[in-house]
């Protein structure tokens, strides 16, 4: 090898260790930099995220239920309350981590929780960190479970919703779920007031999931909800439900509903539907029994609505209270013939006779003078076709078609309560206008009314008709009870104003009405000169007898008498108040039933020319 080559090789050999050192140093610096970046990320940039991950592995957070506010009657008596209860929970992951057989724990819990051992074993064999084993248990049961000191098992305080009066006003009150949230009725409508604010319990646990008993527990106390005081009179509510139940039994009806209002304030003193249900058995109750039907169900009011048609006619000046009208035996509109039940001949009749006898023909003649626009506007002012502002979940607004959508026969049929639908509360509120000198007070279910859901502009004291018109209509309605279709609604010692109604139920399967299915109604107020209560009652599908003056009027009288007594309203005539109850009405005198309507009908086929199979509506 030449000297030059040997020198180059030695130089290269001397250089290789230095290059290797440089390479090692470079790798070291790269690794150190990566570690430094990771440390910066962990300690400075992502500190919060890693802390949360660590907390999730070592801490458990449990929500503590708040005590739900009570619902009270107008005197402060409880209708719905929350009582202390216990919840038992398990931590299956902790049990598995500790190497404990869940069968042993389940066997210890089963007799206390009254649950099959196998079910508990299944729930304790999952990989979950939290599972409820029992809810809303008596506190004593919770104490017994706590005394067992079972690993992976804990006890929390919660609340059970109870209804001390049982089924009383159940549909209005609604109910709350197992987690304490309102699911229906007032419980749901005022959830934000009743619910309160849940608390928080945080505890530390080891790698196995077991609690670290020596570690501190963080507890944030729950804040209880506020109480609600309703306008309901508990005693009157109970009497109303009893009277409705007796009416159902007497007439074999499907159900019955009633609303009792204070006309000057709009306060609902009673809102009842029978049959009802026991709150603890709500899951077994049929939907019909669960609904608060005075608010959620709409029906055709029949002749009860004639009072509002007459009031509108008086207010618009198309007739006077003492005016005598020519009333023909029948009136024909668009090929359809309308008649009366009690009188089927041409005659002269004043307005008092037309209202007392519930004349279809007389009311139709008034409606024709009013015309669609004024009639619709008048009914709207009484609150038809719109919610009552009571703020109740599922409330029906009823139906009042716009005049542009009316058919050729809508004017006569709507004037006498057919082709329009209302809730029973709307009916009561409309009659409260007549009882309150023509001013409308929106119905309310709470004494100290909070802002109702969706109600930012509640208006009370709205003028609907003049005081003179209200007084004239009251006089006419007194005649209904004194000598017309509603004599069974009389209350001894008191002047009563009211109106009967009978209507067919629309078919749910086809156009027209359901054969043999009727609604008997009565709405009125007392004492007539200075009304203290308004009562509206509806009996659903009574059998055999179905006229409002026969079926609904007696129940109205009994509920009204009870309300006046509870409110300590003195009778107009104390001596008359001691007299016997009025005799049962003659069905012929109280006839206010569906009219004999002949000719083509907008609601069913052309077979409506048989008066025994009318196209619908109501003659009383």
In this structure, is residue 45 part of a structural domain? Answer: no
Q: Does 225 share its domain with 240? A: no
- Residues of the chain with pLDDT > 90, as a percent, come to 68
Tell me what the mean pLDDT of segment 289-310 comes to.
Answer: 97
Of these residues, 65, 257, 303, 615, which one is catalytic? 303
Is 303 marked active-site? Answer: yes
Average model confidence (pLDDT) across the chain: 86
190, 212, 229: which is the final residue of a domain?
229
The predicted pLDDT at position 448 comes to: 78
The confidence score (pLDDT) of residue 105 equals 95
What pLDDT score was predicted for residue 602?
A: 43
Question: Is the model more confident about 192 or about 209?
Answer: 192
Q: Alpha-carbon distance 478 to 127, whole Å?
A: 74
Residue 218 pLDDT level (bands cut at 50, 70, 90): confident
| Domain termination residue (choose one: 200, 229, 258) | 229
- Taking only the tens place, the pLDDT of each residue in 475-531 is 999 999 999 999 999 999 999 999 999 999 988 888 888 989 999 999 999 999 999
Residues 251 and 216 placed together within one structural domain of the fold:
no
Look at 48-57, 407-416, 465-474, 603-612 and tell me which has the smallest mean pLDDT. Answer: 603-612
Residue 560 and residue 532: Cα distance in Å, rounded?
10
Q: How far apart are CA 570 and CA 567, in angstroms?
A: 9
pLDDT at res. 13: 58
pLDDT at residue number 616? 37
255 and 155 housed in the same domain: no
**Is 255 found in the same domain as 160?**
no
Instruction: Convert the pLDDT of each residue in 415-437 to its tens digit.
Output: 999 999 999 999 999 999 999 99
C-alpha separations of 371 from 367, 391, 420, 430, 470 in Å: 6, 33, 16, 21, 21
pTM higher than 0.85: no
Q: Say how far apart CA 527 and CA 534 lie, in whole Å.
A: 10
Helix (H, G, I), strand (E, B) or coil at 218: strand
Token pair recorded at residue 570: 């003195």
Q: What is the C-alpha separation between 386 and 455, in angstroms, rounded?
A: 13
Instruction: Please check the confidence at residue 374 and state whether its pLDDT lies above 50.
Output: yes
The residue behind tokens 């009639």 is 375
- Domain span at residue 129? 62-229
Lowest mean pLDDT among 158-167, 451-460, 606-615: 606-615
Query: DSSP readout, 36-103?
Result: HHHHHIIIIISHHHHHHHHHHHHEEEEEEPPPPPPEE-TTS-EEEEEEEEEEEEE-HHHHHHTT--HH
Residues 250 and 102 occupy one common structural domain: no
**pLDDT value of residue 451:** 44
Q: pLDDT above 70 covers what percent of the chain?
A: 79
Of 37-51, 154-168, 218-232, 594-608, give the range with the top mean pLDDT: 154-168
Domain boundary among 198, 229, 260: 229
Strand partners, 534: 261, 525
Least confident of 30-39, 523-532, 556-565: 30-39
From 81-85, 153-157, 487-491, 602-606, the region with the lowest mean pLDDT? 602-606
Residue count (the chain): 620
At 371 the pLDDT is: 97
Res 435: pLDDT? 98
6 within domain boundaries: no
In a shared domain, residues 202 and 306: no
Please determine, for residue 455, whether its predicted confidence score (pLDDT) is greater than 50: no
CATH number of the domain residue 364 falls in: 3.40.710.10
If asked whether residues 216 and 264 sit together in one domain, one would say no
Kindly state whether residues 355 and 437 are assigned to the same domain.
yes
Radius of gyration of the chain (CA): 37
Residue 554 and residue 540 share a domain? yes
Confidence check: pLDDT of 8 > 70: no
Total domains in the fold of the chain: 2
Q: How much is the pLDDT for 125?
A: 94
């Amino acid at each position: 090898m030449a000297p030059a080559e040997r020198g180059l090789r030695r130089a290269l050999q001397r250089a290789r260790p230095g290059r290797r050192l440089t390479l090692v140093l470079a790798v070291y610096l790269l690794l150190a930099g990566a570690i430094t970046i990771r440390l910066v990320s962990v300690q400075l940039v992502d500190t919060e995220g890693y802390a949360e991950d660590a907390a999730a592995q070592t801490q458990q957070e449990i929500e503590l239920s708040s005590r739900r506010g009570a619902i009270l009657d107008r005197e402060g008596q409880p209708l719905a309350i929350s009582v202390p209860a216990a919840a038992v929970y398990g931590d299956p992951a902790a049990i598995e981590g500790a190497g404990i057989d869940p069968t042993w724990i389940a066997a210890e819990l089963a007799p206390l929780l009254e649950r099959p051992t196998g079910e508990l074993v299944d729930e304790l064999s999952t990989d979950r960190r939290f599972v409820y084993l029992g809810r809303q248990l008596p506190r004593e049961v919770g104490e017994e479970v706590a005394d067992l000191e079972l690993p992976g098992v804990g006890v929390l305080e919660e609340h059970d919703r109870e209804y001390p009066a049982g089924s009383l006003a159940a549909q209005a009150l609604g109910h709350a779920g197992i987690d304490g949230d309102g699911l229906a009725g007032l419980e749901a409508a005022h959830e934000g007031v009743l619910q309160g604010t849940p608390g928080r319990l945080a505890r530390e646990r080891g790698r196995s999931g077991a609690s670290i008993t020596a570690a501190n527990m963080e507890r944030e106390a729950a804040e209880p909800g506020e109480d609600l005081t309703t306008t309901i009179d508990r005693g009157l509510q109970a009497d109303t439900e009893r009277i409705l139940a007796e009416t159902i039994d007497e007439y074999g009806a499907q159900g019955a509903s009633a609303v009792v209002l204070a006309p000057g304030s709009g306060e609902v003193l009673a809102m009842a539907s029978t049959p009802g249900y026991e709150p603890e058995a709500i899951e077994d109750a049929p939907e019909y029994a669960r609904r608060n039907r005075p608010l959620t169900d709409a029906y055709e009011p029949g002749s009860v609505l004639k009072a509002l048609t007459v009031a509108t006619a008086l207010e618009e000046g198309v007739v006077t209270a003492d005016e005598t009208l020519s009333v023909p035996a029948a009136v024909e509109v668009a090929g359809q013939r309308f008649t009366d039940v009690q009188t089927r001949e041409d005659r002269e009749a004043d307005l008092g006779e037309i209202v007392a006898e519930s004349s279809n023909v007389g009311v139709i003649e008034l409606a024709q003078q009013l015309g669609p626009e004024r009639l619709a506007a008048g009914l709207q002012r009484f609150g038809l076709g719109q919610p009552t502002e009571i703020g109740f979940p599922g409330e029906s607004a009823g139906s009042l078609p716009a005049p542009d959508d009316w058919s050729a026969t809508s004017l006569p049929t709507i004037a006498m309560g057919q082709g329009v639908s209302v809730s029973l509360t709307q009916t009561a509120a409309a009659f409260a206008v007549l009882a309150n000198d023509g001013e409308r007070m929106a119905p309310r279910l709470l004494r100290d009314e909070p802002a109702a859901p969706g109600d930012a502009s509640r208006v009370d004291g709205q003028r609907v008709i003049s005081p003179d018109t209200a007084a004239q209509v009251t006089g006419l309605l007194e005649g209904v009870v004194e000598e017309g279709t509603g004599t069974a609604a009389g209350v001894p010692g008191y002047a009563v104003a009211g109106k009967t109604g009978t209507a067919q139920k629309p078919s749910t399967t086809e156009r027209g009405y359901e054969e043999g299915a009727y609604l008997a109604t009565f709405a009125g107020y007392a004492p007539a000169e200075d009304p203290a209560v308004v009562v509206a009652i509806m009996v659903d599908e009574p059998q055999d007898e179905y006229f409002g003056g026969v079926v609904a009027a007696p129940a109205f009288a009994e509920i009204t008498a009870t309300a006046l007594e509870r409110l300590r309203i003195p009778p107009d005539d104390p001596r008359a108040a001691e007299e016997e109850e009025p005799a049962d009405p003659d069905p012929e005198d109280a006839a206010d039933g569906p009219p004999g309507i002949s000719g083509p009908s907008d609601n069913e086929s052309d077979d409506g020319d048989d008066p025994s199979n009318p196209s619908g509506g109501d003659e009383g």
